[in-house]
């Protein structure tokens, strides 16, 4: 959606490495040895259909000149920047609706958000026809929903994940961070510290999801000015509840809270006990 930062740049760099590596293998296997380098495409589109009725679409940052410069510096081959009118017909009436993974967490408070996400991502896949699409892990629910959409609709694209990029103090990079007051910015890294503490507890043998979740909510609630929206520990693939760490798949803690007017999300995988 634009307002690109170092987190987005890291996705582009991964795409560049993957594209060049894929092209290199194709060239080696080709009898003519003339395979061209792989192409990296970035789409920038502030999608109105993933904004809720209480979310200000007009307030979303759109520094397109800076975004274009970043893409050029990162060796992007094609920047796709369509208008709303070219993406959505005036009588647009078809959307993609995922019915399970999108229900809770961000989907509960942002009704219709993931319909907008699925619809626009499906459209972008149709228009660009990528072999591989790379998404950041910071919005884990979005990643899970897109993976499910691709699987269920048999879309011919491979979804790759890339780890969350953080500030030096641990705060996950986000376009929304620019709206934090200085006071809120100073305490925001405690979100990451709360997640790390749960990871440490799990690695040291704590398997009770109830206890880990209790401690997570306690730490998040202690952040000055924080209003916790959710703090859950779930199976990272199905987003379903778990009772014990290490049973039925990898556990992941998902959190969302507000600091002032800014809504922040983060997540972290929790290791199974040794």
Contact partners, residue 99, CB within 8 Å, separation at least 6: none
Which DSSP string do the residues of 167-190 spell out, in sequence order?
-TTSPBP-GGGGGS-HHHHHHTTH
Contacts 24+ apart (CB under 8 A), 87-91: 87/45, 87/47, 87/120, 87/123, 88/49
Contact partners, residue 70, CB within 8 Å, separation at least 6: 4, 8, 9, 12
DSSP helix/strand/coil, 268: strand
CB 193 within 8 A of CB 215: no
Element (DSSP H or E) covering residue 252: strand 251-259
Q: Which two tokens stand for residue 249?
A: 């798949």
- 5 a catalytic residue: no
Q: Phi, psi (5° rounding) for residue 112?
A: 90, -10
Of 5, 8, 81, 162, the catalytic one is: 8
Contacts 24+ apart (CB under 8 A), 46-49: 46/1, 46/2, 47/1, 47/87, 47/116, 47/117, 47/120, 48/84, 48/116, 49/88, 49/95, 49/112, 49/115, 49/116, 49/119, 49/120
CB 44 within 8 A of CB 64: yes
Residues forming the active site:
8
């Amino acid at each position: 959606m634009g307002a690109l930062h170092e987190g987005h740049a890291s996705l582009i760099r991964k795409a560049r490495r993957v594209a060049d590596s894929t092209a290199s293998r194709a060239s080696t296997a080709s009898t003519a040895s003339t395979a061209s380098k792989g192409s990296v495409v970035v789409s920038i589109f502030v999608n109105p259909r993933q904004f809720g009725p209480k979310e200000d679409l007009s307030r979303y940052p759109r520094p397109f000149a800076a975004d274009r410069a970043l893409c050029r510096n990162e060796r992007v081959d094609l920047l796709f920047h369509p208008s709303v009118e070219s993406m959505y017909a005036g009588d647009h009436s078809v959307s993609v609706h995922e019915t399970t993974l999108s229900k809770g967490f961000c989907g509960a408070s942002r009704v219709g958000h993931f319909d907008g996400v699925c619809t626009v991502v499906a459209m972008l896949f149709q228009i660009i026809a990528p072999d591989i699409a790379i998404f950041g892990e910071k919005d884990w629910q979005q990643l899970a929903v897109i993976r499910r959409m691709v699987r269920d609709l048999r879309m011919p694209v491979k979804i790759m994940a890339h780890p969350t990029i953080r500030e030096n103090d641990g705060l996950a990079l986000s376009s929304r961070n620019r709206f934090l007051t200085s006071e809120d910015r100073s305490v925001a890294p405690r979100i990451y510290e709360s997640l790390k503490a749960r990871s440490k507890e799990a690695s040291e043998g704590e398997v009770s999801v109830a206890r880990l979740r209790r401690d997570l909510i306690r730490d998040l609630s202690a952040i000055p000015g924080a209003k916790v929206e959710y703090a859950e520990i779930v199976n990272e693939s199905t987003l379903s509840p778990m009772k014990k760490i290490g049973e039925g798949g990898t556990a992941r803690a998902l959190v969302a809270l507000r600091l002032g007017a800014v809504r922040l999300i983060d997540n972290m995988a929790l290791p199974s006990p040794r």
